[in-house]
Homo-oligomer: A and B are copies of this chain.
Amino acid sequence: MKDIYSHIEDHVDESIEQLFELVRQPSISAQKLGFDKAPGLMKDILERNGFEAEIVQVPNNGLPTVYGYLPAATNPESAPTLLFYCHYDVQPVDPLDLWDTDPFEPTRVGERLYGRGISDDKGNIGARLAAIRAFRDVRGGLPCNIKMFCEGEEESGSINLPDLIAERGDDFRADACIWEGGGRNLNGDPFMYMGLKGVLGVGLSVRMLSGDAHSSYAAILPSAPWRLLRALATIKDEDERILINGFYDAIVEPSAEAVAAVEALPDDAPEWLDTFGVKSFVNGLDGEDLRKQLTFQPTANITGLDSGYQAAGQKTVLPALAKAKMDFRLVPEQRPRDIFDKLRKHLDKHGFEDVEIQILGAVNPYRTSLDSPWVQLVAETAEEIYGRKPVMTPNMAGTGPMFDFGETLGMPIATSGIDHPSHKIHAPNENITVEDFLLGARHAALIIDRFASDWG
């Protein structure tokens, strides 16, 4: 593989420029920002790298997926097929004033590269394309068929992906799948994960008046922000127990193997305390209990509160409307639609029929077995690239539409990528290092090589 690795290293500046080109194009799915041009650019970049590419219309007027197919150099009919799952959409950039650079003008400072999406997930797209280019330039083509599935609304909860998979899933099926994510943890160990939590994202709103009133009327008129906060307060108690009737019913106990893997994970608690500037975790958790909570427990999180006047000084207003956004991270085998129904019933039961709920995202949780041959291949190649045994996580605390590929399309999934906890994904000053990028590209190349021979 030296020829491939050397090519990746020698052409890293070009690969970074290609990544910068992707980052420069805004593609914020939550705000539908930049999608006049982003799918076309994604398709163009796949084509420049030898793919037959297509902008795939997504059901329910979703933001398009960009799909590419690159056949093996020889005998593609009999060659095995590898799918890379990625997404070209990014998170919103606010609070913009906390960015040191323009989020859509990628900037290199020493060995660190800054920009929205430069890690999550455009960096992975770039690293995989660097590996693929190396095979084409050095060896005249790929040893297996490659499919690139670049989703356009992952950061908005992949809400239309189940429908797309139902409609065209066979086109995207492969013999194995590499997910986004994977990389190195705070100790420098490679890590990979075999599952993701699901999510139900909701917007809650309550209107009590036809329009804002002068706050002197607060003595006699009902208040939307007071009502909203009373409704929210019924959802979770102070010990973090979620009070929605039946919320925990569908949860299956993680396997002994999964529990053992979490117990064996390194203790990142000191780094988390430092990163987030906190003195302790919820309910005083630490050690294995903390990691089990993060891995196996669902959440009821408030992502936003919005009512009345929020600028400088004071406005004497009784707000007509109050809004909250929440996300519930779900674990196997909770289902977002079921949790939505239970939340609706819960609010009704407590007299909050007037609090409206809008679904903003719905993804099923997924967790695959740690001992599949594909997981073993990815783990062994990670050890070769990084020089250390990978840390195996049964499922991440985050969310992605792994269910639709792993369960619905039935392909084995493992992760490989450029991640590092210093990347500030979803936050201001998102970044990667050049080394992160190179390691991710080398690992993608070795996976391609080993997959072609073992599955061929």
Residues of B within 8 A of A64 (CB): none
Of the candidates B156, B303, B305, the one whose C-beta lies within 8 Å of that of A306 is B305
Q: Which residues of B contact A319 (CB under 8 A)?
A: 302-304
A399:B316 contact, CB within 8 angstroms: yes
A426 proximal to B (CB < 8 A): yes
Given contacts A212-B427, A302-B226, A304-B307, contact A312 B30 (CB under 8 A): yes
Interface string of A200-223 (1 = CB under 8 A from B): 010000001111111111111111
How does the 8 Å CB contact mask read for A336-368 relative to B, with 1 for contact and 0 for none? 000000000000000000000000110000000
Whether a CB of chain B sits under 8 angstroms from the CB of A456 is no
Across-interface contacts of A27 in B (CB, < 8 A): none
Is A45 part of the contact surface with B, judged by Cβ < 8 Å?
A: no
Distance in Å from the Cβ of A336 to the closest Cβ of chain B? 12
A219 to B303, CA, bound (A): 13
Structural contact, A293 and B220, CB atoms closer than 8 A: yes
A residues 296-330 touching B (CB-CB < 8 Å): 297-319, 322-325, 327, 329
Which one, A129-137, A274-282, A410-418, A439-447, is touching chain B? A274-282
Tell me if A401 is interfacial: C-beta within 8 Å of chain B.
Answer: no
Q: What would be 27 A-B contacts, judged by CB atoms less than 8 Å apart?
A: A29-B313, A30-B314, A32-B312, A92-B311, A92-B315, A155-B316, A210-B277, A211-B428, A214-B427, A216-B299, A216-B329, A218-B329, A219-B282, A221-B278, A222-B278, A222-B281, A223-B301, A228-B305, A229-B232, A302-B308, A302-B319, A303-B319, A304-B309, A304-B319, A305-B305, A313-B360, A314-B325
Contact of A360 among B304, B314, B327, B428 (CB under 8 A): B314
Which residues from B are CB-within-8-Å of A428? 211
A425 within 8 A of B: yes
Residue A285 interfacial (CB < 8 Å):
yes
Interface pair A214/B425, CB less than 8 Å apart: yes
> Are B313 and A30 closer than 8 Å at their CB atoms?
yes
Return chain B residues, CB-CB under 8 Å to A233: 229-230, 233
Could you tell me which A residues sit within 8 Å of B by CB distance?
29-32, 91-92, 94-95, 98, 155-157, 197, 199, 201, 208-223, 225-226, 228-230, 232-233, 236, 238, 272, 275-278, 281-282, 285, 290, 293-294, 297-319, 322-325, 327, 329, 360-361, 396-399, 425-428
Chain B residues in 8 Å Cβ range of A225:
302, 304-305, 324
B302:A216 contact, CB within 8 angstroms? no
Interface pair A91/B315, CB less than 8 Å apart: yes
Contact check, B301 vs A215: say whether CB atoms are below 8 A apart: yes
In the bound complex, residues from chain B placing their C-beta under 8 Å from that of A310 are: 304-306, 323, 325
Partner of A220, one of B236, B294, B300: B294
Once the chains bind, are B282 and A220 in contact (CB under 8 Å)?
yes
Contact B305 A322 (CB under 8 A): yes
Q: A210: which of B210, B276, B303 is its contact (CB, 8 Å)?
A: B276
Having A218-B301, A219-B297, A223-B302, one finds 11 other A-B pairs with CB under 8 Å, namely A30-B314, A30-B315, A31-B312, A31-B313, A156-B314, A210-B278, A215-B301, A216-B299, A221-B276, A229-B302, A314-B327
